[in-house]
Structures are given as structure tokens and as C-alpha cells.
Copies of this chain bind each other. A is one copy, B any other.
Amino acid sequence: MTREDRGRQESWPISALAHELDVSTRTIRYYEELGLILPGRTERGIRFYSRGDRARLRLILRGKRFGFSLDQIREMIELFAEDRTGCMQLMRTIEYGNQKLAEIDEKISELMQLREDILVYKQSFEQKLLEETRRMTDECSSSTSSKWTEISE
């Protein structure tokens, strides 16, 4: 609080951050409303963002790109950002981290499952394409109807 503008300390206005991370300024202010970021202010009330704030915002956006709601993200950030000194507090925080890691691992495996599903669909179409081209060269039509209903069960 005593000496917060030393010149060497790099910071950016809201517009720069918005442009860099490709979100609107409104969005950033909204995140502040929810208590997700607390940027610094000049004595005239103008926001400026440290590189820490920037990293934080990036983490928020990354979290958002999956199911995580802003509330869940806030949960994470709060737990990790607070200055927890107590031994029990530390252990609880670490436990929470492990939990989140497990959730993410779950998500990753689910994504890989989704990937597999789509791959199967695609391959069935590649198969179709192969048969199609064969028919065009052979000029002999054999009706093959592979129903999509049997996939991924």
C-alpha cells in the first residue's frame, strides 16, 4: 500500500488487457463485480492490471472454456489466493487442490472418450466413402446400410 507505483512495476490499462485476451472490458469489470479480480487503481479511480492480475484473468478464461462456472472458478481462486497461514488451513487447501486435480483428470478422460466417439463416427463415414467410390468404379450396386444407432454402446 505504501509505494505501489515504482515505474519498474509494469501494468496495463483495461483496454490493453481486453484486447490481448480477446474479451470485452465489460466482461473484465463484471469479473471484478464478482470478486474474481481486484486490480489496482490510480488515485483517480482508474484500473490498472499487474502481470499477476493478467495471469489470474487468463486462468479464469481458461477455466471458463470448459464447464466451470464463474462461481466455481471463484471458489478455486479464493482458496489459492488467500494468505493462509494456519497449518490446518494449508492442509485443507492442499486437499482441495487434490480434489480439483481429480476433477480435471475426470474431465480429461471424458474428453478423450468424446474424441473416441467422434473418431468412430468419422471412420464409419470414411468406410461409406470407400464403398461409394468402389461402387462408382465397379458400376455394381450392393446396398449396405450401416445404421448409426449401433455406435458406442
User: Cβ of A113 and Cβ of B62 under 8 Å apart?
Assistant: yes
* Contact string against B for A residues 117-153, beta-carbon threshold 8 Å, 1 for contact and 0 otherwise: 1110110011011001100100000000001111111
- Give A97's nearest chain B residue, CB to CB: B122
Q: Which segment of A17-25, A30-38, A63-71 sits at the interface?
A: A63-71
Task: Decide yes or no whether A16 CB sits under 8 A from chain B.
Answer: no
A114 CB, min distance to chain B CBs, angstroms: 5
- Report the separation of the CA atoms of residues A63 and B110 in the bound assembly, to the nearest whole angstrom: 9
CB of A108 within 8 A of CB of B104, answer no
Residues of B within 8 A of A84 (CB): 125, 128
Docked pose: A135 CA to B28 CA in angstroms: 40
Q: Are A132 and B90 within 8 A (Cβ)? A: yes
How long is the Cα–Cα vector from A145 to B105 in the complex, in angstroms? 31
Give Cα distance in the complex from A111 to B52, angstroms.
Answer: 21
Other than the given A65-B66, A101-B115, A104-B111, 10 more pairs (CB < 8 A) read: A52-B147, A52-B148, A62-B117, A63-B114, A64-B67, A80-B121, A84-B128, A97-B122, A97-B125, A104-B118
Could you show 24 A-B contacts with beta carbons less than 8 Å apart? A51-B149, A52-B148, A52-B149, A55-B151, A55-B153, A59-B152, A62-B110, A62-B113, A65-B66, A65-B107, A66-B107, A66-B110, A80-B121, A81-B148, A87-B129, A90-B125, A90-B129, A94-B125, A97-B122, A101-B115, A101-B119, A104-B111, A104-B114, A107-B111
